[in-house]
Amino acid sequence: MGSLIKNELYKVFHLKKLYLLTLVALAIDIAAALQGTQQGSYFPISLFDNLPYLFVLCAVVFFTDSWVDEYRSGVLKLSLLRPVNRIALLNAKVISFIVCAAALMGFTLLSAYAFGAIEVLWILKSGAVTLVPVLGFGLLVLFISVLTNHMAITVGCTAGFLLVSQMLVASETLRYYSIIYLMQVFYKNLFLQFNGEQAIINVAVIAAYITIFYTGSILIFCKKDLLT
């Protein structure tokens, strides 16, 4: 398992497209700082309001390359010609996604720190908490990738899901079932305006995303015939 994770991380950090996301992260830092200055709001709040869009791009870039490209090029098949457990391989990809997302989160927060006006402990806790719904969304994209093995469909479905999520925000009842919305508000519900009942609902919804799409990815992956 350890060697699989090392191999996946090696491929991740040699993926040039992921480094372009650091430029997006810097743009978000600057936009959040300007937004906070203009509106008199707290800088970290403005920052976290914009982070979901960064991690939507992160998940799409990661899994279209880590799954769809490898499937189409035959790299995935070559991996399975070795004595590799499919669940272990999928787990290695999930873990490498989290490491990648955490590295991007760390870069974003450290670069934001350079802009000043950040309480370090608060912002780090908020970043760690936000990674939980990020994992839920990443597993959704992984599920689509495993199901379709098609880059355009994966990107299209993700864009469609993002659009639907934005529509759900308009509903006071349904917005808390949108993983995109939870990336924006989960840390607020825990640290800024704590409500025990709402926090439990948030945790339950995020756990459902993680459980359903992780289990679905494993079931589909284990049944795929990749060696013929």
Element (H, E) at 210: helix 196-223
Torsion sign over Cα 66, 67, 71, 73 = negative
User: What pLDDT, on a 0 to 100 scale, did the predictor assign at position 50?
Assistant: 77
Distance of CA 182 to the CA centre of its chain: 12
Residue 19 located in a structural domain: yes
Domains of the chain: total: 1
Residue 228 located in a structural domain: no
| Nearest residue to 138 (alpha-carbon basis) of 32, 228, 67 | 67
Q: Which residue segment(s) compose the domain that 133 sits in?
A: 2-223
Residue 13 located in a structural domain: yes
- Start-to-end CA distance of the chain, whole Å, equals 25
Residue 43 located in a structural domain: yes
Q: What is the mean pLDDT of each run of 10 residues along the chain (228 residues)?
A: 81 78 83 58 66 88 86 79 83 91 88 65 81 94 92 91 86 86 87 80 94 95 77
User: What pLDDT, on a 0 to 100 scale, did the predictor assign at position 193?
Assistant: 76
User: What pLDDT, on a 0 to 100 scale, did the predictor assign at position 227?
Assistant: 65
Maximum Cα–Cα distance across the chain:
60
Under a CB-based contact definition with an 8 Å cutoff, are residues 100 and 8 in contact? no
> What is the spatial distance between Cα 175 and Cα 7, in angstroms, rounded to a whole number?
38
Residue 50 located in a structural domain: yes
